[in-house]
Structure 1
Amino acid sequence: MVVLDELSSFKNWNSKRFKAFMKIRPKVKRVIGLTGTPSSNGLMDLFAEFKCLDMGERLGRFISQYRVNYFVPDRMNGPIVYSYKLRSGAEEQIYEKISDITISMKALDHLQMPELISNEYTVYMNDEEAKLYADMEKNLFVPLKKGEITAANAAALSGKLLQMANGAVYSDDGEEIVIHDQKLDALEDMIEAANGRPVMVAYWFKHDLARIMRRLTEKKIPFEKLDSEESIRKWNRGELPVALIHPTSAGHGLNLQSGGNTLIWFGLTWSLELYQQTVARLWRQGQTAGTVVVQHIITAGTIDKDVMKGLKNKDMTQNRLIAAVKARVTHGR
């Protein structure tokens, strides 16, 4: 028997991890998969995950077959398909297919969990800053004294707009160009409002980290990056007023709940899995505080709002999946 902890790490059918496991899969009699984020990017994720479990018995042996059966092209450019959407009724069909080998148990149903409070702290760019952002969004290009900012396509534009919403952006030459300090000012206010209580700050871009570190150093606020065993121990002992963490390093199984109960998102991520895993570092069993507060610094009129909406929509899809298999367990299936 093989137990795949964090089954979602096998969701990419093109990954070396998935292909390596499928080579030995025929020799394994039984496979159990465990994950808290089975469909963080939508139900397309389920194909590879369930092929690990049943070798394609339920959802098909090939991704092309799975797409044809349950999806239709969504965003396209000629013959090139950028994304897919579910066929009418396909969501329920998928749930039915996997229901006999799937069960869900939510922590809230079985464990004593602290209350989770999520809110948004909105900041506003001035007219000049907002115009730079709008020009980039419209033209995919902005000429500045320190360098040019260019986005070759929609995906690149999304990244540039996220950077600008955070307050800085990389030029075409890789130089950091500061656009505004609105999020830094908000972060400083929020840390001050914590009144000495430890705060964890999630950042996304390297220039986010550099600017946050400069501001905290300037204000003589002690901080450390959570990137070593020693820094994690300091955080869990309550010795760090501010801990800086990148979502990709806030991985599965990392226990940080002893150090504090406040998480501030300075920069957002489109990845629901990384988002939920980062929140789960504090909002988990063993958290001694009665509440965990997750605050998102959002720049008004920017892509930040779209990211928040996207995360909520992905979470709704995932919750429908969990609810579907949970309902079947409840009724004895």
Structure 2
Amino acid sequence: MKFKPWNYQEYAINHMIDHEASGLFLDMGMGKTVSTLTAVDELLFLGLVYKVLVIAPLRVAEDTWSTEVEKWDHLKHLKISKILGTKKDRERALMKNADIYVTNRENVDWLVNECFGKWMFDMVVIDELSSFKSSKAKRFRSLRKVRPYFKRIVGLTGTPAPNSLIDLWPQIYLLDGGKRLGKTIGSYREQYFTPGNRNQFVVYNWNLKEGAAEAIENKISDICVSMKAKDYLNLPERIDNLIEINLPETAIKKYKELEKDLVLELDKNDITAANAAVLTNKLLQMSNGAIYSENHDVVEIHEEKLKALLEIIEASNGKPVLVFYSFKHDFDRIVDFLKSKKLKAVGLKDSKDIKKWNNGEIPILLIHPASAGHGLNLQYGGNIVVWFGLTWSLELYQQANARLYRQGQKETVIINHIIAKGTVDEDVMKALGNKEVNQNILLEAVKARIKNIK
């Protein structure tokens, strides 16, 4: 296929060629991969780089980069080696003569240790840059060790700061080595933030100082490009449906008992993001219809969401349906329930399933949002999404929806949210709608429940 770049893609390509460090904050579906590959191809041709390392989420590393090379005529000459699989497989991939070496985030630490004394990559592309938002994560600390050896680096993401601008420091540090936002996370916080909720020396969230957001944006504006799909692309219409369901009285009673017990237990101690997350996790499980016991057995509570899902599938009149689930027992219960109705639902396993879906060969596809968060092109296989279970992560929510709502989609995208009335589902949906999902929202939701119960 011949590549005819949009104007914004040409701008992004030139930006990567002209800047040794480049952050591309482009919305999902704007062709970040093909733009980056085009820039890499030019840099290789000019002799400005020789070996390129791409770090990506596992599924993206397995499929997306090689598929894009095969797809576009001007890129087919590029040789790709995938540093994936067993230790022997990774070692063999490292020994291959290639232009681009692709690995997954979980292998970064191994790769740095393996190649530290003989680092051969003079350009690194991080796809998805926001997965390096924690300065404490092993993957960040490992990549930081070899950062001085990069001649060029590109960071790709649609959501650089999904929760807070605190998340931005590690990402920008990898781009510029600390030149713009400081050498340490501590100095960054001190300059731009004030402590929010805290427990003695533990700070749970940070608040921006007045004018800090603009100051941060100005600091990084020379190397970072931010573009929104709605400003450049004619995307299809998107319809968001809230499908509210009433739980049976027995289920509501069990839900309220669990909520009361856990909330009152939390009320005796300082509420942290960790124990607030445990509470909402259990309540979300019950909203979906089942919960793990202390022995890790699955205790079924109700089938109301399963029935609502069936109604959506039947109303789709044979059109493929993409279902996002939250817990392993959600997956198992959906598969078994639909099987009893003579319907087949399958999980996404590998690139073969992606091709089957896009070819219309999978009627009902089940995906955990963390597995479909980045880079999967599923827009050719359907236009109907169902959120069986919700996520507090705005980043995962946006990225998951963008698997269908992106460039190349020809039909109106319908995103259905199954909401159990009177449950934490309503809190999560409200938070997602406010576009402010962070620890503070989670804590405030829990505190509100404590107040209501009292």
- The normalised TM-score by structure 1 is 0.86
1:102 and 2:224 matched: yes
1:291-306 equivalent positions in 2, closer than 5 A: 291-306=412-427
Letter in 2 for 1:206: K
Question: Matched residues in 2 for 1:169 and 1:83: separation?
Answer: 30
- Cα distance, 1:49 vs structure 2: 0.7
1:255 and 2:377 matched: yes
Question: Matched residues in 1 for 2:232 and 2:398: separation?
Answer: 19
Question: Matched residues in 1 for 2:209 and 2:150: separation?
Answer: 33
Task: Name the counterpart of 1:200.
Answer: 322
1:317-332 equivalent positions in 2, closer than 5 A: none
Letter in 1 for 2:427: D
1:263-282 equivalent positions in 2, closer than 5 A: 263-282=385-404
Q: Secondary structure at 2:226's aligned position in 1?
A: coil
Task: Name the counterpart of 1:128.
Answer: 250
1:227 touches 1:245 (CA, 8 Å); kept in 2?
no
Question: Matched residues in 2 for 1:16 and 1:241: separation?
Answer: 39
Q: Which moved more, 1:84-93 or 1:219-228?
A: 84-93
Task: Name the counterpart of 1:19.
Answer: 141
Task: Name the counterpart of 2:433.
Answer: 312
- Cα distance, 1:197 vs structure 2: 0.9
- Cα distance, 1:215 vs structure 2: 0.8
1:122-155 per-position Cα deviation (integer Å, ceiling 9, x unaligned):
111233322222222222189xxxxxxxxx9322
Question: Matched residues in 1 for 2:164 and 2:332: separation?
Answer: 33
Question: Matched residues in 1 for 2:192 and 2:312: separation?
Answer: 45
1:164-175 equivalent positions in 2, closer than 5 A: 164-175=286-297
1:126-275 equivalent positions in 2, closer than 5 A: 126-140=248-262, 153-275=275-397
- Cα distance, 1:208 vs structure 2: 0.5
Q: Which moved more, 1:183-192 or 1:84-93?
A: 84-93
**Taking structure 1 as reference, are residues 245 and 54 closer, same or farther at Cα in structure 2, changes over 3 Å only?**
same
1:264-286 per-position Cα deviation (integer Å, ceiling 9, x unaligned):
00001112222222111111112
- Cα distance, 1:251 vs structure 2: 4.0
Question: Matched residues in 2 for 1:256 and 1:159: separation?
Answer: 28
1:287 and 2:287 matched: no
- Cα distance, 1:169 vs structure 2: 0.7
1:47 and 2:169 matched: yes
1:35 and 2:168 matched: no
Higher relative contact order (CA 8 A, sep 6+): 1
Q: Which moved more, 1:7-16 or 1:254-263?
A: 7-16
1:266 touches 1:296 (CA, 8 Å); kept in 2?
yes
Letter in 1 for 2:415: V
- Cα distance, 1:316 vs structure 2: 9.0
Q: Secondary structure at 2:244's aligned position in 1?
A: strand
Question: Matched residues in 2 for 1:232 and 1:100: separation?
Answer: 37
Q: Any stretches of 5+ residues in structure 1 without a counterpart?
A: 143-151, 318-333
How large is the Cα RMSD of the aligned pairs?
A: 2.1
Q: Which one of 115, 124, 135 corresponds to residue 2 of structure 1?
A: 124
- The normalised TM-score by structure 2 is 0.64
Q: Any stretches of 5+ residues in structure 2 without a counterpart?
A: 1-122, 265-273, 439-454
**Taking structure 1 as reference, are residues 131 and 78 closer, same or farther at Cα in structure 2, changes over 3 Å only?**
farther
- Higher Cα Rg, which structure: 2
**How many percent of aligned residue pairs carry the same amino acid?**
54
Q: Secondary structure at 1:305's aligned position in 2?
A: helix
- Cα distance, 1:31 vs structure 2: 2.5
Q: Secondary structure at 1:96's aligned position in 2?
A: helix
- Cα distance, 1:5 vs structure 2: 2.7
1:23-57 per-position Cα deviation (integer Å, ceiling 9, x unaligned):
12122243332211111122111010111112112
1:135 touches 1:141 (CA, 8 Å); kept in 2?
no
1:10 touches 1:49 (CA, 8 Å); kept in 2?
yes
Letter in 1 for 2:416: Q
1:227 touches 1:249 (CA, 8 Å); kept in 2?
no
**Taking structure 1 as reference, are residues 70 and 136 closer, same or farther at Cα in structure 2, changes over 3 Å only?**
farther
Q: Secondary structure at 1:249's aligned position in 2?
A: coil
Q: Give the aligned length.
A: 307
- Cα distance, 1:196 vs structure 2: 0.9
Task: Name the counterpart of 2:237.
Answer: 115
1:261 touches 1:293 (CA, 8 Å); kept in 2?
yes
1:77-109 per-position Cα deviation (integer Å, ceiling 9, x unaligned):
333222223233322332232223222122222
1:81 and 2:208 matched: no
Q: Which moved more, 1:105-114 or 1:178-187?
A: 105-114
Q: Secondary structure at 1:239's aligned position in 2?
A: coil
Question: Matched residues in 1 for 2:177 and 2:414: separation?
Answer: 41
Task: Name the counterpart of 1:93.
Answer: 215
1:208-259 per-position Cα deviation (integer Å, ceiling 9, x unaligned):
0111111100100122112133332221111222111111221422111111
